[in-house]
Amino acid sequence: MNYGYGFLEGECRRAINTVGLELSVGFLHDFSGYQTKQSLVYDLQEPYRWLIDFTVMQAFESGSMDVPDFYFTGDDYRYRFDVQAKERFIDLLRKQFNSGANYKGRILKWDTLIQEKTNELARFVSGRSRGLDFSEPSPTFVTTNNRAVREAILSLTRYEARKCGIGKSTFHYLQKRAASSRPLKVYEKVRVRVAQAARSEDRKGSVQNRG
């Protein structure tokens, strides 16, 4: 998480430098008279820390990173992670920042959004704007690791899965992972087919109950 926050800090610092605001003059964090403490950078990070938190969770849930990727250095009492794991994590960070968000009718990447919100901050500070809102765009989380999806998969029969276009090997994998406590990844196309099969089964049960 600290490594990810460093990545986010770089994005925020770049945005602040682009609009020409003073890095050491913050609002949430203490003002500093020396440049090494960049209070405004830390302020700007706050609304976007979830990007890092979510990426870290994804890294471990997907298996891209695991405990063996980390090692302890006794000289400075810090944990570090190896180069290959670091590269995988950076790739995940880039994908997260490149994922689009809807803002004022446009789909923007998160690094572009950080720049846009920094521009809004600059206009507010200079008196060119009367309002400032950092609550938008709000984060959206998409996860397939939930009970409803697992129960829908486990309730399917092989015949129902085949009928809605889910192959034998895919069905076997889904049921095996759904029955375990491990993270469950379901592609959107398969998720739709599982939902269709579940709805079909619900309708069939409803008709039988009425009968």
Helices (H) and strands (E) counted in the chain, each on its own, are: 9, 4
Highest mean pLDDT: which range of 9-13, 53-57, 75-79, 149-153: 9-13
Per-residue pLDDT of 151-178, as tens digits, reads 888 888 888 888 877 878 778 888 887 8
Cα–Cα distance measured from residue 109 to residue 102, given in angstroms and rounded to the nearest whole number: 9
Contacts of 133 (CB under 8 A, 6+ apart): none
Per-residue pLDDT of 24-47, as tens digits, reads 888 887 765 554 578 899 999 999
Burial of 118 (0-12, 13-18, 19+ CB in 10 A): buried
Strand 70-73 vs strand 106-109: parallel, antiparallel, or unpaired? unpaired
Annotate 38-98 with three-state secondary structure: CHHHHHHHHHHHHHHHHHHHHHHHCCCCCHHHEEEECCCCEEEECHHHHHHHHHHHHHHHH
* pLDDT at residue number 203: 44
Question: What domains lie within the chain, and their CATH numbers?
Answer: 2-125 (1.20.120.920), 147-210 (no CATH)
Type and span of the H or E element at 100: strand 100-103
Q: Any idea what DSSP says for residue 197?
A: H
Tokens at residue 193, please? 């087919």
